[in-house]
């Protein structure tokens, strides 16, 4: 999920988090994947999402090791607000 959040009412500073959720864990909490910070919405979503896309591609292709065990990664869905679609 990606959505903008204003940090204060007066500064105009806002951040746009990318958050994840593990569907296979009961009562899982959202966790941060990445954050964009600025004083307006990102002008180009490709620049904002580039690092996420590159890392996600690598994880999907190769998986990752945790405690000497290889885990595969599957992105099940993306949830975006209307402007992000």
The answer to the question of residue 37 being in a domain is: yes
The answer to the question of residue 14 being in a domain is: yes
- pLDDT tens across 22-44, in order? 888 889 898 888 887 777 777 77
pLDDT interval class at 1 (50, 70, 90): very low
3-state helix, strand, coil in the chain (%, to 5): 25, 30, 45
* Cα–Cα distance list, 83 to 2, 16, 57 (Å): 11, 13, 24
The answer to the question of residue 81 being in a domain is: no
pLDDT at 82 over 60: no
- Which residues have CB under 8 Å from 44's CB, separation 6+? none
The answer to the question of residue 78 being in a domain is: no
For range 32-57, the mean pLDDT: 81
- pLDDT of amino acid 71: 92
- pLDDT of amino acid 43: 74
| CB contact at 8 A, 58 and 44 | no
The answer to the question of residue 82 being in a domain is: no
Containing structural domain, residue 18: 5-71
pLDDT at 5 over 80: no
- How many domains is the chain built from? 1
Reading the block at residue 75, the tokens are 């992105």
- Three-state DSSP class for 60? helix
The answer to the question of residue 38 being in a domain is: yes
The answer to the question of residue 79 being in a domain is: no
């Amino acid at each position: 999920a990606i959505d903008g959040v204003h940090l204060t009412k007066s500064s105009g500073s806002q951040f746009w988090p990318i958050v994840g959720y593990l569907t296979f864990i009961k009562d899982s909490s959202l966790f941060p994947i990445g954050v964009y910070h600025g004083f307006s919405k990102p002008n180009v979503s490709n620049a904002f999402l580039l690092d996420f896309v590159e890392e996600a591609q690598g994880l999907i292709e190769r998986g990752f090791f945790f405690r000497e065990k290889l885990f595969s990664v599957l992105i099940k869905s993306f949830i975006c607000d209307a402007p992000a679609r």
